Structure 1
Amino acid sequence: MLDNKASIIIFLVNNYECNEVINFIENDIKTLYSCIRVNRSFCRTFIPILWKNPFKFISDDKRLVQLFSTLIRCLHQIDKKWLENEYSIQVDKFHTSKVYFKYHTFIKDFELNPLQRAMRLWATEHLAGKKGKNDQIYDSSTKRRIIRKKVNKINHHIGNLLFNKGGQYGSLNIYYNDLLSGPRSLLDICAIKNYKQSLVDVNKLSLGLFNKNSMNLIPIITYNFQGLQNALSKNNIQHLQILINTQKDHSVLTGDLIDFIQSQGQLKSLSTNVFWKADATKSFLDALKMHSTSITFLRIEDEDISNSSNQLLLS
């Protein structure tokens, strides 16, 4: 039985522009779920809305694993065969529901961090139970190392699924932190065949790094960003967010980020913390000055820099 809000949505869709209704409820997960149960037409209309950024609706690990299982079900047959041969996992016999859509093609807002977390949780649940040779029981350290290796292999197949289509994403949220699986098991978008075609429509980019433990993520993150920097159109990025939180040396990454800011042609909003050291302040302000006629929103998480930046934009 439909709830009252879903009944109202049916009335609105039948009497008003569908896009206006969708904009009104696109963040209301309860109503969206009600709408996909109305009929096939509503299902075809609202499933893409739910899957535009499916991770934003996920609040617990169990549902995160279920969502990733759905993505696994969407893999090409050759990739499913690899899972079966490599780990004796028969994807089509999962307890999760069958896939009735190519759900991955609906994703427009890509988020790296929850995807990597979901992948690790899924690998832990489905692959960690495998015993070693002679049926020895793995200790926790060995199990974590095995999971990292398996995540590294799965990256390739999930990457092909998500980035080998072309013209798909409108925004990227690339956030790395110490809780991910380690530098060698991070998904590198630029290692995927035809990945550039999936980035041509990106106009919103969020870049984040939290690295304070003993593992140094800076070199691999810098390398990955350089690939993205070369792939993203200089005229497309209109909204840019940067958050770098580390005490490790990241001078090369700093230079790349400042160059990236300066190279954009239509930047309208910038939100950032002070990721640069004092000797790079002038370079940042020079980059910012390039957008003094286009930028309409600026937030910098440092009082002194914010004041000088605002004065620059208003001068």
Structure 2
Amino acid sequence: MFKLNNDILCLIFEELRDDEKTLYSCLSINKEFCEIIIPILWKNPWKFLKKGKERLLLNVIISHLSKESKNNLNQNNIFIDTYQRPLFNYINFCKHLNLSGIQNIIYNIYEESKIKIIENEIIKLFVNENTKFTHLYLPYQVNFQIHLIPGAESCLSEIKFLRCNASVENYILDGLTEICKSIKELEVLFEKNNNYGIVNLIKNQKNLFNVCLFDFYKRHESFNNIIENSLIKHANTMQYFKITKPPVINLLSSFVNLRVLELELNGDYRDYNYLKNVTLPFLQVLKTRFVPTSILISLIENTSGSLIDISMKSSTSNNVTNNKKIIQTIYQKCQNLMYLKLVLRNSSISELEELLIRCQYLDELYLFDYDGIDLNNLFRILTRSSPTNLFKFKFSFSQIDLDSLELFFENWKGRHPMILQFVCQTEDIEVLIEKYKSEGVIKNYNSDLVL
């Protein structure tokens, strides 16, 4: 019997790292598969953790504690279930140190007086000279000086991803700045009280290219300026940028090599006309929310035709004229477009057809309605003018009637079977979908629509 080389198996299973079901189904086939899959699953044990299973994960972690740590817990009246030490050293496989996840599990299981003691023992288990992490997730409240734990410098020196809260104490952020100098991806959550330690951490990275800034409270403008100026240092390397409040300074224009922009203005309707002058020649992915249509049009017009993915949610001032204009701008500037998500007005259906004709690489379309859609007209155009590669459709419409849908499926016969996603509104539609699945018109249907 032909046997695959272990290196090839590793490559195959690594490609399946996000497919929990397949990995678990292969886990028990034989010892060889098990020895390859376990390290993949334990790179980030919080990734597939389901609600209600937190205690099980904690028990596995506790089973790795040293005899000394277990005795310390017992002496403090923390009596843990005793499990045989696992065959694998799961902790050594971990590359994601999720201190937020650890803290959440402990806080939900133990009483307050015992939390700090067990937290310290578990953190010492993870942070030592024998472990190397690439991803670090800090909780909102960091109750320990992680940078001073023996072995922390070696353990955290290769961190490539950091998620933290800007309210973490300065001395902790300063300590991490000294150790973590190669962070490439950074996610920062801003709260009411933010510390300037995050500024030095940003400045001291060597190759920062992926940044997400999440705002839950309004920041002082002076603090915004300092944060944004610290990011300008990384202007040439920045490829992915997400922000949930409009920048105070003309930050975006400095990101000349930006590939992905996620912009959410989140109800902040101050003057941001300066965004109309932002030029991002290499932008490939644009995702926006609550962004005025006029800004969207300018952002798209100021690219060099490299956009392949556009997702617009809840754009403001999306009147009839602007809706037509945004679609026109897309088909004039984005001939290589592959994915599109937008609000469609009834009066703009003819412009959508022009887009379908011009954007021949389009392979997925996600449409919202605004004022009720003439479904017969829309489905007729989709059947008549969709490029060959387009067969994946998502619809978020206020109403979908049975007759229009049946006509759509009938007219689609002979084309590539469609992958369809929308919320099924009646039992008759469910029966209709099953009929056309059996006839090969629909390849796959999913009613779980994520907006």
TM over 0.5: yes
Q: 2:146 aligns with which of 189, 193, 217?
A: 189
Contact 1:205 1:239 in 2 (8 A): yes
Given the superposition, is the C-alpha separation of residues 119 and 303 from structure 1 closer, same or farther in structure 2, using an over 3 Å criterion?
same
Aligned position for 1:238:
184
Contact 1:155 1:187 in 2 (8 A): no
SS at match of 2:206: coil
Q: 1:121 aligns with which of 66, 88, 108?
A: 108
Aligned position for 2:204:
263
Partner AA of 1:156 in structure 2: N
Partner AA of 2:189 in structure 1: L
Contact 1:36 1:43 in 2 (8 A): yes
Given the superposition, is the C-alpha separation of residues 282 and 194 from structure 1 closer, same or farther in structure 2, using an over 3 Å criterion?
same
Per-residue deviation, 1:18:
2.5
Q: In structure 2, what is the Cα distance between the partners aligned to 1:239 and 1:90?
A: 37
Per-residue deviation, 1:74:
0.6
Structure 1, unaligned stretches of length 5 or more?
1-10, 124-146, 177-182, 210-217
Q: 2:97 aligns with which of 98, 110, 120?
A: 110
Aligned position for 2:174:
226
- Give the alignment of 1:133-282 within 5 angstroms: 147-176=111-140, 186-208=143-165, 218=167, 221-232=169-180, 234=181, 236-244=182-190, 246-247=191-192, 249-250=193-194, 253=195, 255-273=196-214, 276-282=219-225
Deviations 1:102-127 (CA, angstroms, capped at 9, x unpaired): 1111110111222111122342xxxx
Given the superposition, is the C-alpha separation of residues 82 and 284 from structure 1 closer, same or farther in structure 2, using an over 3 Å criterion?
closer
Q: In structure 1, what is the Cα distance between the partners aligned to 2:238 and 2:228?
A: 13
Per-residue deviation, 1:230:
2.6
Given the superposition, is the C-alpha separation of residues 77 and 227 from structure 1 closer, same or farther in structure 2, using an over 3 Å criterion?
same
Aligned position for 1:140:
none
Share of identical aligned residues, percent? 23
Aligned position for 2:226:
283
Supply the RMSD in Å over aligned alpha carbons.
Answer: 2.8
Q: 1:293 aligns with which of 236, 252, 277?
A: 236
Per-residue deviation, 1:284:
2.8
Aligned position for 1:64:
54
Per-residue deviation, 1:76:
1.0
Partner AA of 2:128 in structure 1: N
Contact 1:168 1:201 in 2 (8 A): yes
Aligned position for 1:79:
69
How many pairs align? 255
Contact 1:166 1:199 in 2 (8 A): no
Contact 2:208 2:237 in 1 (8 A): yes
Contact 2:42 2:94 in 1 (8 A): yes
Per-residue deviation, 1:240:
1.1
SS at match of 2:250: helix
Contact 1:80 1:91 in 2 (8 A): no
Q: In structure 1, what is the Cα distance between the partners aligned to 2:4 and 2:136?
A: 30
Q: In structure 2, what is the Cα distance between the partners aligned to 1:99 and 1:44?
A: 13
Per-residue deviation, 1:186:
3.2
Q: In structure 1, what is the Cα distance between the partners aligned to 2:255 and 2:80?
A: 58
**TM-score, normalised on structure 2?**
0.52
Contact 1:156 1:192 in 2 (8 A): no
Q: In structure 2, what is the Cα distance between the partners aligned to 1:30 and 1:67?
A: 18
Structure number with the higher helix fraction is 1
Contact 2:73 2:117 in 1 (8 A): no
Q: In structure 2, what is the Cα distance between the partners aligned to 1:41 and 1:48?
A: 12
SS at match of 2:132: coil
